[in-house]
């Protein structure tokens, strides 16, 4: 039986400098100038400002790619590289809690040495609570991951890694936002209807994304959950790409 690859993917963001002409993109330049036989690439995604997100199998592959760029003048002069800091999400946080309280708790219980920065907050279904998405250095991120839960004022909050995957609130698809959606009709995130999610009155929960995967690929993923839930098959499949 083949062993499961437990290495954690790592992403490098590449952007063009002013020395790259408008007719050449970063991917074309890498294909021409860089040998990727020693780099295990998991995914390539075009991003804003003519950039390219390169997801590798592990940190060692990212470092190999960085060395390749820095050691070749034609790449070093035309590409700016920067590794993304990992993010964590803290679920169901009461709105009055402050960043100072959170950072002090991480310092006391996880031994963090730097303050985490708040990226943004996500609205929770429960009134008066939000999910916090915070940026951490790799060193602090590894310490926080061992916690799993965070205790503030005698209340436990779940802490997980946050993955930056675009999700469309119009069609419920991935890798794009509603403003760029190619679909003409809305798909509800709660049920199977073609209407705005906030106008849904159906008592039945139905994930249109997992249903589409089953239809296209012949899979048997469960569909009795909200499309917005991050613990189910349609979301996990995107993480593995």
Domain spans of the chain, in order of start: 11-82, 87-162, 178-240
40 in Cβ contact with 61 (< 8 Å): yes
The pLDDT of residue 8 is above 70: no
62 in Cβ contact with 110 (< 8 Å): no
Same fold: 11-82 with 87-162: yes
What is the C-alpha separation between 71 and 38, in angstroms, rounded?
A: 15
Residue 239: band (very low, low, confident or very high) from pLDDT cuts 50, 70, 90: very low
What's CA 59's distance to the chain center, in Å?
17
What would be the CATH architecture of the domain defined by 11-82? 2-Layer Sandwich (3.30)
Superfamily of domain 87-162: RRM (RNA recognition motif) domain (3.30.70.330)
pLDDT above 70: percentage of residues in the chain: 82
Residue of 157 and 161 predicted with greater confidence = 157
Mean pLDDT score of the chain: 78
50 in Cβ contact with 58 (< 8 Å): no
pLDDT, tens only, 84-107: 667 888 988 898 889 999 999 999
């Amino acid at each position: 039986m083949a062993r499961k690859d437990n290495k954690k993917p790592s992403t490098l963001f590449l952007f063009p400098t002013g020395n790259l002409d408008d007719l050449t993109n970063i991917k074309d330049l890498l294909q021409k100038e860089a040998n990727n036989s020693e780099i295990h690439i998991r995914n390539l995604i075009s991003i804003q400002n003519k950039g390219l997100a390169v997801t590798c199998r592990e940190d060692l592959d990212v470092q190999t790619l960085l060395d390749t760029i820095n050691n070749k003048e034609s790449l070093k002069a035309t590409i700016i590289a920067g590794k993304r800091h990992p993010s964590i999400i803290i679920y169901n946080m009461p709105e009055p809690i402050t960043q100072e309280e959170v950072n002090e708790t991480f310092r006391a219980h996880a031994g963090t040495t730097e303050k985490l920065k708040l990226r943004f907050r996500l609205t929770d279904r429960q009134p008066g609570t939000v999910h916090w998405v915070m940026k951490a250095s790799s060193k602090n991120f590894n310490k926080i991951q061992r916690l799993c839960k965070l205790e503030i004022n005698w209340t436990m909050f779940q802490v997980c890694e946050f993955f930056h995957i675009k999700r469309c609130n119009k069609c419920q698809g991935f890798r794009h936002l509603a403003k760029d959606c190619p679909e003409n009709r809305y798909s509800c995130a709660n049920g199977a209807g073609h209407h705005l999610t906030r106008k849904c009155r159906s008592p039945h929960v139905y994930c249109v994304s997992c249903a589409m995967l089953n239809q296209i690929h012949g899979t048997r993923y469960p569909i009795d959950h909200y499309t917005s839930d991050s613990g189910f098959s349609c979301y996990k499949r995107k993480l593995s790409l």
